[in-house]
A = this chain, B = another copy of it.
Amino acid sequence: MSARLNIYGDAISGNCLKVKWTADLLGLQYDWIETSVLEAETRTPEFLAMNPAGQVPTVVLADGAVLAQSNAIILYLNKVHSGGLLPQEPYAQGKVFEWLFWEQYSHETAIAVRRFHKHYLKKSDAEIDPKLMEKGAAALTLMENALKDGAYLVGEKLTLADISLVAYTRLAHEGGFDLEPYPAIRRWIARVERDLGLQPAQTPERAA
């Protein structure tokens, strides 16, 4: 472990990529310690001693202090490095927080969880709780309506809300969610991917 930011993350996890993208946008130097969820590397005694919740992402700061929870980490990094990814105006800031909590409660729990079952655990549709599809579709509909009026989720520039929400939304097809009925979401994904310097996830390879 070096005396700079250490990010323990799994590259297949949108939650972990949020932290990578935010660190990259802020121009931070860090070490990425690949930590496989599927191989239970987050459940070893060593990992649990660092983060008893046994989850990635987990970061270890230069002074050894540990911080977990993807959205807490990106808020922290943005604050410490004076990023402009969280509006200072209280109501706009409140709306970013609203999206971040909604993401963890109502979006990740359907879109990311269904992707995990389908794409990584290779379950058939019949083996996956049908409520996940229903809940995910409701989440996408809410986002589509919110994005009809603006380029970003809050205000007219990229915020942590976009970084957080795009992580699993851009991979929704891997969970069996077709984004074709959601044109505002697709435009927003392309915009945020451009801002983050990412290759498009919704490409022809999707049909391959």
Q: Chain A interface (Cβ within 8 Å of chain B)?
A: 52-53, 61, 65, 67-73, 75-76, 79-80, 90-91, 93-95, 97-98, 100-102, 104-106, 108-109, 142, 145
Contact = CB atoms under 8 A, between A and B. Distances in A.
Contacts of A101: 69-72, 100-101, 104
A53 B97 contact: no
A112 to B, nearest CB: 11
A199 B26 CA distance: 46
Contact of A90 (B76, B91, B93): B76
A79 B93 contact: yes
A80 B93 CA distance: 11
A74 to B, nearest CB: 9
Given A76-B90, A94-B76, A142-B52, A102 B71 contact: no
Contacts of A76: 90-91, 93-94, 97
A102 B67 contact: no
A128 to B, nearest CB: 16
A101 B100 CA distance: 9
